[in-house]
Amino acid sequence: MSNNTTEVKNAVPLTCHGHSRPVTHISYSNSLGLQGVEDSCYMISACKDNNPMLRDGSTGDWIGTFFNHKGAVYQARLSSNASVAATASADFTARVWDTHTGQETFTLQHNHVVRAVAFPPHVSTVVATGGVEKKLRIFDLGDPTTTPKDLNNPYHLKTLIPSLRCETSLNDLPSAGESVHLPTEAAYEVGPGVHKGTIKSIVWTQQPEYLITAAEDKVIRWWNLSDGTVLQEYNVDGEIGSVEFTNIKSEPGDIGGGALVLTVAAGNKVHFFGGDIGHRHIKTIDLGYAVASVALHPTQRKFVTGGIKDTWAKVHDFDSGAEIDVHKGHHGPIWSISFSPDGKLYATGSEDGTIKMWKNCEGPFGLWGRGV
């Protein structure tokens, strides 16, 4: 650990320019070897400049920008094979994009600001959304002519859940030419009236029947889509920042026992949950400062945080909670942090409008092998 920490500390970060306002969220594709290129992955960023961007996940090189939003973009995610992206915006829409062409394929209309989007595992034709309306909605993009549905009706769920298990692609849909517009009535609403505050984040578990929401009512909720009910609730002390699953493939001896770990930043604390659907509490660490974001490396047993009142990425030992390194370079709070799927770097998105990529491995890697 000490050798690895020294290497990381001495490496100059890569700075990804292009955004003109605060970067609100960054997310990696959770697979390596995309499009037949070994160890390749992609990163998408959301920003208050209205324009989400797609980048090479290892170098930070710009690939493309998605244009059409008329308001700040709060969250952006990629499908598991990175062929499709979804974004949540202040313009009262979530939008779905073809990452190969950059074209918008679906506009998901809402009645207020949308803060969160998520894909199920291995599916690119189903999207969950949430925001200021306090409503968790699920859109089935495979049926753009769908009529209003009620998740409490088990008949509709029997058609929904099998579709989540299928490896599907928007390429399988008939070409619509222009973006397909879906109204709110075309979505499944899950648990009406349960959320008492804005839904700030949605993450889908590896079991497609279960997803997780985090809201401004300071509650993390695990949802069972089979009956539209809350399986579990967890109350936090302060304002919720980032809520994400790790995307590093771990082993049985790692944190989480080989399953993905749910990481939560809230108030002055970071929370970690494991199990098949990330609902088993592993540990809570009080850091003594307001935390905006957190990301965990389960194999190296360390996590990185961004504070609300500072501009540093702080590296902590998972077992002791002790701070073991500080990475400086941003000029504003870090709102989002994500390790790459191979764990060899992590990226930070900041109020200063930049994304920085920090080396997290020994020896040459990517552009760091060329003297950066």
CATH number for the domain including 222? 2.130.10.10
| pLDDT mean by block of 10 residues, the chain; 372 residues | 43 93 94 56 96 94 96 96 94 96 95 96 90 94 54 47 50 58 88 97 93 98 92 97 92 92 98 96 97 97 97 97 96 97 95 96 81 46
The answer to whether the Cα torsion of 33, 27, 87, 233 is positive or negative is positive
pLDDT at 38: 52
Is residue 267 included in any domain, yes or no? yes
Is residue 371 included in any domain, yes or no? no
pLDDT at 187: 87
Is residue 369 included in any domain, yes or no? no
Is residue 370 included in any domain, yes or no? no
pLDDT at 271: 98
pLDDT at 125: 86
Is residue 332 included in any domain, yes or no? yes
pLDDT at 235: 98
Are 163 and 126 spatial neighbours (Cβ–Cβ below 8 Å)? yes
CA angle 200, 204, 206 (to 5 degrees): 155
Query: Which residue range(s) make up the domain with 343?
Result: 2-362
**Cα separation, 65 vs 129, whole angstroms:** 21
Is residue 26 included in any domain, yes or no? yes
Pair of tokens at residue 239 = 């304002």
Is residue 339 included in any domain, yes or no? yes
pLDDT at 160: 55
pLDDT at 185: 87
Count of the separate structural domains present in the chain: 1
Phi, then psi, of 11 in degrees rounded to 5: -80, 135
Is residue 100 included in any domain, yes or no? yes
pLDDT at 34: 53
